[in-house]
Amino acid sequence: MPGKVLVAGASGALGRHVVAELVARAVPVRILTRRSGGKALPGVEVVEGDALKPGALRGLADGVDVVFSCLGASVDPGAPGRAGYGAVDTPANLALLEEARRAGVRRFVYVSVFHTPALAHLAYVKAHEDVVRALQASGLDVAVVRPTGFFSAFALMLPLAAKGPLPVMGSGAARSNPIADEDLALVCVEAILGSGREYPAGGPQTLTRREVNAQVFAALGKPERTYPVPLWGLKLVAFLAALFHPRASQFLRFMVGLSEQDLVAPVKGQRTLGEALKARASRAG
């Protein structure tokens, strides 16, 4: 059993589940948050700080055995902020790494992204992999968790489908096996408590993009309605968006890549996307 675990990104969709799982296993937890006044689980130590502010993390990792980070800019298009992933994810996690090294942390677990070499040039992927390279050169014991995609990201499609048709990007035939946030949290805790180096993680179902759309509509009890979006059109929108919203542009380019490549990771989850979407739709009323 490790000593205290620092969780960065604890207020996000994945981080909340990781904290809950660690607490359930009686692992002492410290969390980093930018928001004051938030509720934390009993026994969780809360530290306020912004990883993008110089010197803000000083002392954060004192007494910590393992740092776990899923810190980064949101993929939710409605989330605040326009800075690109390389201007948020990379410097924030490098600052966290610097603090971890200063404090003598034993192990650092980082959530990157499952990808193929053909996607490595994309800004979204590169921002994560720049962190991975720095970690691997740090001299710390390092583990990298590589999920295909979170169910919570697909849940963002529910309100769109409730109002109208969903886009089919390209042929809609590209396949992937997204994983439930709860199942991914178990993989992350395995990495925190274990000694492995790489943890690729996907869910039990391999679905095409068209099949994902169908499951979104099924969760709402609505007939499927879609419209085609050619990839050249998406690339054009991404090009134009770069002028005023770098983050949205970079994520659109990543979506183009996902529409052209199969991304199927080793199965680590048990929950299915359809069940998760139905549960989310039911809670939303």
Q: What is the pLDDT of residues 107-122, one digit of tens each?
A: 999 999 999 999 999 9
pTM given for the model: 0.94
Residue 232 makes CB contacts below 8 A (sequence gap 6+) with none
Backbone angles phi, psi at 176, to 5 degrees: -155, 165
pLDDT range class, residue 41, cuts 50, 70, 90? confident
- Per cent of the chain over pLDDT 90 is 90
Q: What value does the mean pLDDT of the chain take? A: 94
258: tokens are 């996902």
Q: What is the pLDDT of residues 202-260, one digit of tens each?
A: 999 999 999 999 999 999 999 999 999 999 999 999 999 999 999 999 999 999 999 99
5-280: CATH topology: Rossmann fold (3.40.50)
Residue 37, pLDDT > 90, answer no
- Compute how many other C-beta atoms are within 10 angstroms of the C-beta atom of residue 1: 8
Residue 207 makes CB contacts below 8 A (sequence gap 6+) with 175, 176, 177, 178, 215, 273
Locus of tokens 């990104």: 9
**Across the strands, what pairs with 216?**
none
CB 120 within 8 A of CB 253: no
Q: Domain-by-domain residue ranges, the chain?
A: 5-280
- Compute how many other C-beta atoms are within 10 angstroms of the C-beta atom of residue 110: 26
